Amino acid sequence: MHWSKEPGGGAANAQGGDVEICEHLREAKDLQPSERVCEECIKIGDSWVHLRICLTCGHVGCCDASKNKHATKHFHRTQHPMIRSIEPGESWGWCYVDEITYDLSRGTQHARVLG
Ligand SMILES: [Zn+2]
Ligand SMILES: [Zn+2]
Ligand SMILES: [Zn+2]
């Protein structure tokens, strides 16, 4: 006898389980900032609110609450997809492509999806 297969069937854990960690996080590195400043803001004599580090190349840029949004500009310029906060006490990361927030308190290898 023939069983009809549903198109694209076999998505076993599509729901109810852990949200999948995206491919960008798998390639992200646990980089540490060399300096806790936004160099691009310093160059133009501006200030920033919070700092983010690029997990592809280690670029430090300022957040979207800052006037110049250098972290996001870095993503648009380079397509480096992942950042994390380097604010004291903050350990979340963010994928610009998938718009997923991760808990990186135990590093990128043990990341959890926050939503
Ligand atoms: Zn991603
Ligand atoms: Zn900046
Ligand atoms: Zn980068």
Ligand nearest to the CA of 40: 2
Ligand nearest to the CA of 99: 1
Tens of pLDDT, residues 58-73: 999 999 999 999 999 9
Ligand 1 mean position, distance from CA 45 (Å):
33
Q: What is the per-residue pLDDT for 20?
A: 83
Ligand 2 mean position, distance from CA 22 (Å):
27
Angstrom distance (rounded) from CA 105 to CA 107: 6
3, pLDDT greater than 90: no
Q: What is the per-residue pLDDT for 14?
A: 45
Domain ranges of the chain: 2-113
Angstrom distance (rounded) from CA 7 to CA 54: 39
Q: What is the per-residue pLDDT for 40?
A: 98
Residue 81: which of 24, 16, 31, 23 has the closest Cα? 24
Q: pTM score, two decimals?
A: 0.83
Q: What is the per-residue pLDDT for 58?
A: 97
Contact present, 66 and 51 (Cβ < 8 Å): no
CA distances to 5, 36, 58, 106 from 75, in Å: 41, 19, 12, 24
Residues in the chain: 115
Ligand 2 mean position, distance from CA 59 (Å):
11
Ligand nearest to the CA of 59: 3
The fold of 2-113 is Herpes Virus-1 (3.30.40)
Q: What is the mean pLDDT of residues 6-16?
A: 46
Residue 70 CB partners (closer than 8 Å, separation 6+): 38, 40, 41, 48, 61, 62
Ligand nearest to the CA of 22: 1
